[in-house]
Structure 1
Amino acid sequence: MAIWISRYSNKELQSGKYYPVGISIGTPKFPLGYMLRKQCYSLAPKSYMLNMELERFKPAYYEKLEGIGTDRIIDMVQRMDEEARAEGKELVLLCYEDVRVPGDWCHRTVFAEWWAKQTGELIEELYDPSEPKVKKPAAKKESKEPVKKAVEARKEEPGYEQLSLFGLAGI
């Protein structure tokens, strides 16, 4: 049984060799270039989990899965895999994030880890022919205090008057 995980925008999915199933809260609004076969909301995280750090996310997501039931999830994934194999395809569970950069993760990688613990079977990331997108560090927000002081200083300058373009045009 070959089950993969990947992101919706992986161009490899356009080859026609795969049975793509979404496991995200929503479905992509952008063109995929392939047909999404199913959307499995049972494997999607809950919305309150989306901004959690991995250390907090993992137990919360595991609890969600266990609330559904380990046997039910295994049965559900195995049925999707059987449907895929009946068409000569391999099952791929999809969400949005590009996790090829070390340190990046998303719920599908956590699901693959959970699956391995429950079944002993590995689910790996599908080959992606595109270059990984390295996330830029968040820019530091600069204080607006210097700008505010400069504006106040201009107001205090003698003989300085702010003119309106519309006032000059007679509008």
Structure 2
Amino acid sequence: MPIKFATCSYLEFRPEMGLPVRTTAGEARFIRYRVAGWLDALTPSRWFINKPDAEFTHFMIQKIEEAGVDRIVAQAQAIADHHGQPDATIVLLCFENLKTKAGGDWCHRSLVARYLAEKLGYEIPELGTVAPMPAAAGGSIEPSEPEPEQLSLL
């Protein structure tokens, strides 16, 4: 079976999710677990990290394609093998908490997940908390309990 991927934020990651793998230029110094490895090909380069979304997407996809999906999968498998967990899910981590992001799903790890899912032919789940995407942004609004009505006593 091919290596499995998932995504999450550093803060929301839990060991039962799989092997934590860094996809950021900087290391998370605030976490209390050990990161299993780093996938540089899935890490935004500092020179394009603050570009507008369209440019960022172009450069990020270009970086992934230059590395090659087969090489990325092989590196992920090597991390899993090194830790004695060849069937583990590789959890791609970054700093973004998608619940607090406008639109609910934009950061480089979500871009990476969509790209890899398309190339690998299977869904790559987000394991952190994701806010529902507004319908105007092309997503669907999750059903929820109606908000209680605030009544006035005056």
TM-score of the superposition, structure 1-length normalised? Answer: 0.63
Cα distance change, pair 87–60 in 1 and its aligned pair in 2 (3 A): closer
Question: Which position in structure 1 is the counterpart of 2:109?
Answer: 108
Distance 1:56 1:72, change over 3 A: same
Query: Are 1:3 and 1:81, in contact at CA under 8 Å, matched by a contact in 2?
Result: no
| Residue of structure 2 in register with 1:44 after alignment | 43
On the 8 A contact 2:39/2:75 being kept in 1, the answer is: no
CA distance in 1 between partners of 2:117 and 2:87 (Å)? 24
Q: Greater helix share, 1 or 2?
A: 1
The 3 A distance-change label for structure 1 pair 99 and 44 is: same
Shift of 1:17: 4.7
- Cα distance, 1:83 vs structure 2: 5.3
Equivalenced residue count is: 127
- CA shift at 1:78, angstroms? 3.7
Q: 1:82 to 1:115 in 2, by over 3 A?
A: farther
**Aligned counterpart, 1:92:** 91
Does the CA contact (< 8 Å) of 1:18 and 1:90 recur in 2? yes
Cα distance in structure 2, aligned partners of 1:28 and 1:83: 21
Distance 2:122 2:80 in 1: 13
**Which residue pairs with 1:138 in the alignment?**
none
User: What 5-or-longer segments of structure 2 have no aligned partner?
Assistant: 132-154
Contact 2:21 2:90 in 1 (8 A): yes
Q: Residue 59 of structure 1 aligns with which residue?
A: 58
Corresponding residue to 2:11 among 9, 12, 18: 9
Structure 2 CA distance for aligned equivalents of residues 89 and 65 of structure 1: 22
Structure 1 residue 117: Cα displacement: 1.7
What displacement does 1:118 show? Answer: 0.9
What's the offset of the Cα at 1:86?
2.1
Offset from partner CA, 1:87-116 (integer Å, 9 cap, x none): 774321101011134524111111101101
Q: Which residue of 2 aligns with 1:118?
A: 119
CA RMSD in angstroms, aligned pairs only: 2.6
Closer, same or farther: CA 2–84 of 1 in aligned 2, 3 Å: farther
Preserved CA contact (<8 Å) 1:6 1:126: yes
Letter in 2 for 1:33: R
For the structure 1 residues 17 and 69, does the alpha-carbon distance in structure 2 shift closer, same or farther, using more than 3 Å as the test? closer
Runs of 4+ residues over 6 Å off in structure 1? none
> Residues 78 and 88 from structure 1, CA distance in 2 versus in 1: closer, same or farther, beyond 3 angstroms?
closer
The TM-score with structure 2 as length reference comes to: 0.69
Larger radius of gyration between Structure 1 and Structure 2: 1
Distance verdict in 2 for CA 1:124–1:65, change over 3 Å: same
What is the Cα deviation at residue 81 of structure 1?
A: 4.7
- Indicate how the Cα distance of structure 1 residues 73 and 48 shifts in structure 2: closer, same or farther if over 3 A, else same: same
